[in-house]
Amino acid sequence: MKKTFNFRFIDAPPKTVVELTNASEDTVKSIQILTVFLQYKETSGGGPSHAHIRFDGVKSMQPGQETVLSHRTWINGRPADGDHDQMERLKLIAGQANPYALDISWEDPQGKMRFQRIPVGN
């Protein structure tokens, strides 16, 4: 099955950002990446989440269009400053499991909601 979106992480100091590319031949609308809840680092086995990353939505993307998604890390219910951004935890590391996923939803040209899951994380 052909993927609608390709992605990559871009190091844009002081933080890392996600770039999405519409790899389809259609204009897509209402693109959202669901909030990624991060495992609690100090608890073996994961434990409850105290940090999560929220992404801003995109109204539409033309075929082949690339866009950098804005995001915000929240820790203990409060927005984190740039020094505590957690996007690095979503980067892929060869040979390691991918405990997180970018769950993307969008509306296709026929008005149907579609979904794509991209495993990420370290």
Which residue type does 118 have? I
Question: Are residues 102 and 71 in contact, defined by beta-carbon separation less than 8 angstroms?
Answer: no
The CATH class for the domain spanning 5-120 reads: mainly beta
Query: pLDDT tens digit string along 88-120?
Result: 899 988 888 889 999 999 999 999 999 999 999
Angle at 8 between CA 40 and CA 41, to 5 degrees: 10
Read off the pLDDT of residues 53-75 as tens digits, 9 standing for 90 and up: 999 999 999 999 999 999 999 99
For the CA atoms of 9, 5, 51, 41, the dihedral, rounded to the nearest 10 degrees, stands at -60
Q: Could you tell me the strand order of the sheet in which 78-79 lies?
A: 36-38, 51-55, 71-75, 78-79
